[in-house]
Structure 1
Amino acid sequence: MAIQQTDDGRWKVDVEPIKGKRFRKTFKTKGEAQRFEATCRAKVIDKPDWTPKPRDRRRLLELIGRWRLLHGHALSDIHRTELVLNRMAREMGNPVASQLTGATYTAYRAARLASGTSGKTVNNQLGYLCSVFNVLRQLGEIDYENPLASVKPLKLQERELTYLSDAHIDQLFRAIQDHCRTPHTYMVATICLATGCRWGEAQALRPERVRDGHVLFVNTKGKRRRSVPIDQALHDRIHQHFQEHGLFTNCRDSFDYAVNMSGLKLPAGQKSHVLRHTFASHFMMNGGNILTLQKVLGHASLNMTMRYAHLAPDYLKDVITLGPIRGFRHFYAAQTCDRT
């Protein structure tokens, strides 16, 4: 039916020039109805935006491939991220990406958690997948919104950051001396402890980046260079090490072995970071400034650095001097209870 007269004498237009684009309207005269029908057909031809696009039937793996080509290739950890994304897509059955729903993903997430995957890992994976959709939407590669936008990351209990006492530091470095065959492990660990840098940042140092009493870290996690001062003795020792042993080699496994042999009990995932946490913790306990620590550690947000704020000697001491109980000393007196 295109144009049809109704029982009350009016003219009803019901036209579908192309599949998926339907127009309906009622007019007083047949001429108006005919003109409306002709206009609808003409606009579908003249204006491409009137013509509905075919539904995007690409599956998730194909979309991840497009994301890698258009954006992911510029990321420093693209190979690891792509492996994680591809595994997720396969484990979810490689669905049509536009038909992926929050319910489908959360069911997959629940299965991952039940299999022993940590909450932090599944939160990271959600972030990777959301980034794929968001980036492709921004680039105009897809015409629909991120289907996982309504899925919230899991709320996780904040982990305690372990740091080493002076005695534990001595215990660890003795283990490095006794059990590590490569001389680089001791030097890299020393740089991490002295500057709070990440293990990979110290391991990537070259002689030209240690000069004038400073260590220059490049290719960092935050993509920003930063310079950290060191004392002259360490400055000279680093250059002496390069002259005697050459550039640092990959000695992360050697350090992990030394930690195991030292007998220190560290939380999962904090072996190589324990020296960074130890630097930050001792820095704050010795009265360091939280903003200075942020710059030294290279945190983009102060929120990350605030994890160490509670270690400052005067942290929240105003609770004692400014709280309402300060003027009522009798609260501290021993209380007796008359039972007669």
Structure 2
Amino acid sequence: MAVSKLPNGKWQAQVFPNGRDGKRIRRQFATKGEALAFERHIKDQAQDKPWLGEKTDKRRVRDLVTAWYNAHGVTLADGEKRKGAMEFACLAMGDPLATEFNAKLFSTYREQRLSGKITRSDRVKAVTPRTVNLELAYFRAMFNELKRLDDWTAPNPLENVREFKIAEIELAWLTVEEAARLLEECEKSKAEDLTMIVKICLATGARWGEAESLTGKQISPGKITFIKTKGKKNRAVPISDELYELLPKSRTSKPLFTGCYSAFRSAVKRAGIELPDGQLSHVLRHTFASHFMMGGGNILVLQRILGHTDIKVTMRYAHFAPDHLTEAVQLNPLNLISGSKMAAQRSTMQYFSTIYEMLCV
């Protein structure tokens, strides 16, 4: 299919709607625009299959991303983030047609992301397997949602693509001594609200953003109610009378505190606390959960306090329970062997003790 200018000044559209071996259609037009419009018209006609009662889906994957976002993604807390990640991936893969998008194409893209050949910023070159696992999850969820909405009828092209296995990350948490040092450094900070926000996080397990954005209407005697949470559900967490007395009592809908995350980062550094990359914002939440379980707290109660929709997320803290897997101490084979030897020794001692008593009679 091509459009070319003829010696007589006119424009010719030459189209093979069914391939080079099929019928050729040629038309001449006064302008190039008319010739291009005719070419598109013939191509569209060739793709339509009226005898099948349907048309070929000519949308690109990016069009599906937009459709997904407008119909569903806009309601998600991270919808914009997902949309941006998928749009970047689409362009990096050559902006493919949705009908041509397949596991091989995504796999090649994934390899290039891991090697650093495809990057979203100069700051980060090669990404981690966790990042590409998230991108895979975004695309799979998008196709599944569009199928539920009857906006995609073909199979999910990434249905059988497996995620990379990644090692479980140990969640960082603070000891009582470290938490005390941190509070001391917070008191020295110029950020007036820093200490209060840190205390709220330590006392309730709140996310940093949840505590930082609190309004007066969310605070009442004996509890704080967190709204607009990640899980989309409000949750009320009890607090002590002492903490309640320290909190501002304004009953407004405006935030009580001024943002001070940078000051928090500085306080952690001054306290001499070293944390793994990416765990600063949640370290107080992890600290609450860890000490809750170490104190004998119930895992289901912890799930409700933290607002987890999936118990598997809360189970990350189960190993902090004092009786967690204690059967391993009594029932391991080494202990059984040692126990057998001790039992044999006791039996031998009892035997000789009995003989000795008989001889002394």
- Letter of the 2:218 counterpart: R
Deviations 1:244-288 (A, max 9, x none): x97223222322232233331101110010001111111111111
Aligned twin of 1:118 = 128
The within-5 A match list for 1:28-107 is 51-107=52-108
Match of 1:175 in 2: 185
Q: Which amino acid aligns with 2:203?
A: A
Residue type of the alignment partner of 1:309? A
- Contact 2:212–2:259, Cα closer than 8 Å, also in 1: yes
Query: What's the counterpart of residue 160 of structure 1?
Result: 170
**CA 1:177/1:241 → structure 2, altered by over 3 Å: closer, same or farther?**
farther
Pair 1:61–1:331, CA change in 2 (3 A): same
TM-score (ref. length: structure 2): 0.73
Shift of residue 332, structure 1, vs aligned partner: 7.2
Query: What SS class does the counterpart of residue 215 from structure 1 fall into?
Result: strand
**What is the CA-CA distance between 1:327 and the residue it aligns to?**
4.7
Residue segments in structure 2 that go unaligned for 5+ positions in a row: 1-17, 19-48, 117-125, 343-361
Cα pair 2:216 2:250 within 8 Å, conserved: no
Q: CA deviation at 1:239?
A: 2.3
Q: In the alignment, which residue of structure 1 is the partner of 2:199?
A: 190
Q: How far apart in 1 are the matches of 2:183 and 2:250?
A: 17
Matched residue SS, 1:239: coil
Aligned identity (percent) is 38
Question: Which one of 275, 279, 302 corresponds to residue 293 of structure 1?
Answer: 302
Name the SS of the counterpart of 1:58 in structure 2.
coil
CA RMSD of aligned residues (A): 2.4
Highest RCO, 1 vs 2 (Cα 8 Å, sep ≥ 6): 1
Aligned match for 2:150, one of 116, 132, 140 = 140
Partner of 1:305: 314
Unpaired runs of at least 5, structure 1: 1-18, 20-47, 334-340
1:186 and 1:132 map into 2 onto residues whose CA distance is 42
CA contact (8 A) 2:129 2:164 kept: yes
In structure 2, C-alpha distance between the alignment counterparts of 1:280 and 1:268, rounded to whole Å: 20
Instruction: Say if 1:113 and 1:330 are closer, same or farther in 2 by CA, change over 3 A.
Output: same
1:325: Cα distance to partner? Answer: 5.2
1:263 aligns with 2:282: no
Compared with structure 1, are the counterparts of its residues 332 and 214 closer, same or farther at alpha carbon in structure 2 (3 Å cutoff)?
farther
Contact 2:178 2:271 in 1 (8 A): no
2-structure distance, mates of 1:322, 1:274: 35
Distance 1:327 1:80, change over 3 A: closer
Which residue number in structure 1 is paired with residue 284 of structure 2? Answer: 275
What's 1:12 paired with?
none
Rate the CA distance shift 1:257–1:265 in 2: closer, same or farther, 3 A.
same
What SS does the aligned partner of 2:225 have?
Answer: strand
Residue correspondences, number:
285
Query: What is the Cα deviation at residue 241 of structure 1?
Result: 8.6
Q: Report how far residue 131 of structure 1 moved.
A: 1.7
1:217 correspondence with 2:226:
yes
Distance 1:174 1:129 in 2: 46
Per the TM alignment, residue 242 of structure 1 is displaced from its structure 2 partner at its CA by: 8.6
CA distance in 2 between counterparts of 1:242 and 1:192 reads 21
- The one-letter code sitting in structure 2 at the alignment partner of 1:286 is G
The whole-number CA distance in structure 2 between the counterparts of 1:231 and 1:256 is 27
